[in-house]
Amino acid sequence: MIDKKMQKALGDQINAEMYSFYLYLSMSAWFESVNLHGFAHWMKIQSREEMAHAMKIYDFVIERGGRPDFAAIEKPAATWTTPLAAFQAAYKHELVITASIYKLAELAAAIKDHATASFLKWFIDEQVEEEANSDAVVQKLRLAGDATGALFMIDRELAARG
């Protein structure tokens, strides 16, 4: 049986992952509206990953005999000034998610919940990748500056994400 504090904290993380899903889907819609379909594709794939993360946590809580409590999902932003601003927001959001995962790991250690600690290892490793992927696009967009051709090259690259 899962500890009640841990169950609550994991429920909060499900909410955070669902917000991530909403945020990236909102970014995808914005990119579509400005005809950057490769950027939109990248964000749509990212949103699906976030939904999978939420479901992974949900399944774990259920497996441990718990029941997640669901809260309202905050409405995400709908527009950004530039592709760079959108990806900077995504990177900043990933840093927040990483901090949240670390707090879960600290709680698991404090209450000696070894099963949850083991489960969270995957998320800790995943966050390294999440931060690196969004930051890589931020760095490319910074290098591109105002060069429209470079923006379209990055758009084509992001369209190839599988």
For residue range 19-44, what is the model confidence (pLDDT) as tens digits? Answer: 999 999 999 999 999 999 999 999 99
144 close to 154: Cβ distance less than 8 angstroms: yes
Q: State residue 84's pLDDT score.
A: 98
Domain definitions of the chain by residue range: 4-159
26 close to 78: Cβ distance less than 8 angstroms: yes
pLDDT digits (tens, 9 = 90+) for 78-94: 999 999 999 999 999 99
Residue 63's pLDDT band, with cuts at 50, 70 and 90, is very high
- The pLDDT > 90 percentage for the chain reads 99
Q: What distance in Å separates the CA atoms of residue 144 and residue 1, rounded to the nearest whole number?
A: 52
Q: What distance in Å separates the CA atoms of residue 37 and residue 78, rounded to the nearest whole number?
A: 16
Q: State residue 109's pLDDT score.
A: 98
- Domain 4-159 sits in CATH 1.20.1260.10: yes
Residue 159's pLDDT band, with cuts at 50, 70 and 90, is very high
pLDDT digits (tens, 9 = 90+) for 104-135: 999 999 999 999 999 999 999 999 999 999 99
